[in-house]
Amino acid sequence: MFVNTMPRYEILSEDAMAVLDKGWRRIVTEIGIEFLLDEAVEQFRAAGQEVRDGNRVILDPEFVLEHVAKAPREFDLQARNPQRSIHVGGSNMAFASVYGCPFVREGDERREATMNDFENLVRLSQAFPELDSPGGTICEPNDRPLDSRHLDMVYALQSLSDKPYMGSVTSGPNAEDTIRMGEILFGGREAIEATPASISLINVNSPLRYDDRMLSALVAYAKANQALVITPFLLMGAMSPVSIPSTLAQQMAEALAGIALTQLIRPGCPVVFGSFLSNTDMQSGSPSFGTPESAIGLFCTGQIARSFGLPWRSGGGLNSSQTVDAQAAYESLMTMLPTFLAGANFVMHSAGWLEAGLVSCYEKFIVDIEILRMLRHEFTAIDFDEESLAFGAHEEVGPGGHFLGAAHTLERFRECFYRPLLSSTENFERWKRNGGLDATARASGLWRKTIDEYEQPPLDDAIRAELEEYVVRRRAELGD
């Protein structure tokens, strides 16, 4: 997997960090965080924290930090193919596909996503080595019943890919199904408790509230030692104030409170400090992605998460564009380049995100893979040593010469530079002759070719049968 060997870009001074530290402490002590699940509230109460109005927990910041400190700084996440297991934290960066989209875009067609789309997008995620995980709800399979579609999704993730996957968080029982299916795939409870076999996204119902469904899933996963990403969901102007410092303080309050809860439930449970921070377009009232504010949030969040010793999640190829155009591309890179600069450890929405996250797009998936490939190349440090100076090449070529035929070039021309997947450097005449296709049209050819060439990773027949049996049984129990 990718290790980011370049320096981190940090913009917060010590004074700024002190201001933010004061900010989150004030929020948790004077306002508190609402936990809309009795079991969660009782955990805090039993640990000596004050509870107001039934579910609002007033937190002692030192208590929060003491529990946050129990979370591992880094952890492994296992894949059923051990070569695809990943390490979350440190200088490592793991990339997962887009998550949570009700719609799909394929060329000029935008439609409700289906199970077929879900499976295709998992296949694409499996095919590209730039992705460490297909993620979870890569799109909503709207043609499957709501109550049992999580079973179809988890099974597709487990069988069509051999990379780590994300679990269902729509309810506690759905999380339990994910855990059970992980036990089947990985050989029992002990195996997945020793090293987590899933990582799941717990969104905060920001501001300052965790809802019962997400909390039930959190509790289930934490008890099974499955990894969690605790993510305040912050569109400034809607879920947080129209101020970056204020929003960062809120993000710290919300994330740290949730992380403390995971450690109350199971000390040492692997957990990731999550960030999903952008802003509302105050003219349209719509969420806005790939914004300057979002990039600033990324730089700051990396620094903040590291100050708590926590692995962190943010970034992705976020944008608001309706189609795979210049806007989709510059907004996506306006988030993804800061993601690398800030060194995010777990990156959701790395491929396929379009239209403010409403759409999983096949062509955008390919554009994002190209961006990931470029950035992985860019953030791999190079050696500056005597040999790299290649003085012999200068001697050979001399003033006014040309390096294409130099011995130094001929020895290295295959590997010396980044080689694009999607981008074209063809001259205009040749490009025209080859059809004059823009990047989006070329991306369409590339994803189709990738699906055609996809090979399903092998899976033991007995395990497959057991998984299928589980899905069939549970679907029936759920009435679908």
Region 354-383 residues binding a second copy, contact defined as CB under 8 A: 355-356, 358, 367, 370-371, 374-375, 377-378, 381-383
Does 134 bind a second copy (CB under 8 A)? Our answer is no
CA distance 77 to 81: 11
CA distance 102 to 137: 9
- Which listed residue (82, 326, 455, 479) binds a second copy by CB under 8 A? 326
- Which listed residue (37, 331, 351, 446) binds a second copy by CB under 8 A? 331
Does 440 bind a second copy (CB under 8 A)? Our answer is yes
For residue 103, list its beta bridge partners.
112, 359
CB of 215 to a second copy, least distance (A): 14
Nearer to a second copy, 175 or 367 (CB): 367
Both structure tokens of 80: 């059923």
Nearer to a second copy, 153 or 333 (CB): 333
Which parts of 336-355 interact with a second copy (CB under 8 A)?
Answer: 337, 341, 355
Which parts of 1-20 interact with a second copy (CB under 8 A)?
Answer: 6-7, 9-13, 15-16, 19-20
Which parts of 43-72 interact with a second copy (CB under 8 A)?
Answer: 56
- Convert residues 304-323 into a mask of x (bound to a second copy by CB under 8 A) and - (unbound): ----------------xxxx
Which parts of 277-306 interact with a second copy (CB under 8 A)?
Answer: 279-288, 290-293, 295-296
CA distance 192 to 80: 11
| Those residues with Cβ within 8 angstroms of residue 15's Cβ, 6 or more apart along the chain or in another chain | none
Is the distance from CB of 309 to CB of 73 less than 8 angstroms?
yes
Does 130 bind a second copy (CB under 8 A)? Our answer is no
Q: Where does this chain touch a second copy (CB under 8 A) — which range of 38-46, 111-119, 150-158, 334-342?
A: 334-342
Which parts of 91-110 interact with a second copy (CB under 8 A)?
Answer: 110
CB of 320 to a second copy, least distance (A): 4
- Which listed residue (127, 257, 260, 439) binds a second copy by CB under 8 A? 439
Q: Where does this chain touch a second copy (CB under 8 A) — which range of 86-94, 135-143, 172-180, 326-334?
A: 326-334
Does 333 bind a second copy (CB under 8 A)? Our answer is yes
Nearer to a second copy, 224 or 249 (CB): 249
Burial environment of residue 362 by CB neighbours within 10 A (0 to 12, 13 to 18, 19 or more)? buried
CA distance 321 to 23: 34
Nearer to a second copy, 185 or 361 (CB): 361
Which parts of 220-259 interact with a second copy (CB under 8 A)?
Answer: 236-246, 249-250
- Which listed residue (182, 196, 207, 274) binds a second copy by CB under 8 A? 207
Nearer to a second copy, 198 or 206 (CB): 206
Which parts of 20-39 interact with a second copy (CB under 8 A)?
Answer: 20, 22-23, 26-27, 30-34
Which parts of 137-196 interact with a second copy (CB under 8 A)?
Answer: none
Nearer to a second copy, 83 or 425 (CB): 425
- Convert residues 446-465 into a mask of x (bound to a second copy by CB under 8 A) and - (unbound): --------------------
CB of 37 to a second copy, least distance (A): 14
Q: How many residues bind a second copy (CB under 8 A)?
A: 127
Does 404 bind a second copy (CB under 8 A)? Our answer is yes
- Which listed residue (83, 109, 417, 435) binds a second copy by CB under 8 A? 417
- Which listed residue (398, 435, 458, 479) binds a second copy by CB under 8 A? 398
- Which listed residue (426, 460, 469, 477) binds a second copy by CB under 8 A? 426
